[in-house]
Amino acid sequence: MKFRLKNVKNLTSLIQFLMYGLGRLDLKENTVSFEKTLTIAATTEINFANQLDTKPSRYIITSQKGNGLVTKGDTLWTNTKLTLKNHGASSVDITVLFMK
């Protein structure tokens, strides 16, 4: 989110302006994270690059199309590679938010 401060006249108006703007940030803007959209075939584990500088501590599936159960893969996550596994009987399209 970008702020335009040209209309701020004093400290009180700056605080009000920042409170309004910061209150409108979404989860992705409030965390060190990256988002990934993937298609995972039935009963398949996939590997992909980790875009953070450390292993993610959390992940949230923010969108899913298809009947699948997606979890961390059997392979351990590293600072460079992550895995997810679809335990379902059909393929699934997901969007995942990985957080530091």
> What single-letter DSSP state applies at residue 44?
-
Q: Print the domain residue range for 85.
A: 32-99
Give me the sign of the Cα torsion angle 33, 39, 43, 49: negative
Residue 40 domain-assigned?
Answer: yes
| Paired tokens of 21 | 């703007």
Number of domains in the chain: 1
**Per the domain annotation, does 80 fall within a domain?**
yes
- Written as tens digits, the pLDDT of the chain (100 aa) is 555 667 777 888 777 777 776 666 666 666 678 999 999 999 999 999 999 989 998 999 999 999 989 999 999 999 999 999 999 999 999 999 998 8
Q: Are 28 and 35 in contact (CB under 8 A)?
A: yes
The pLDDT of residue 27 is: 62
The pLDDT assigned to 19 comes to: 73
pLDDT at 32: 73
Position 44 in a domain: yes
Contacts of 92 (CB under 8 A, 6+ apart): 39, 40, 64, 65, 66, 67, 68, 70, 86
39 DSSP β-pair partners:
93
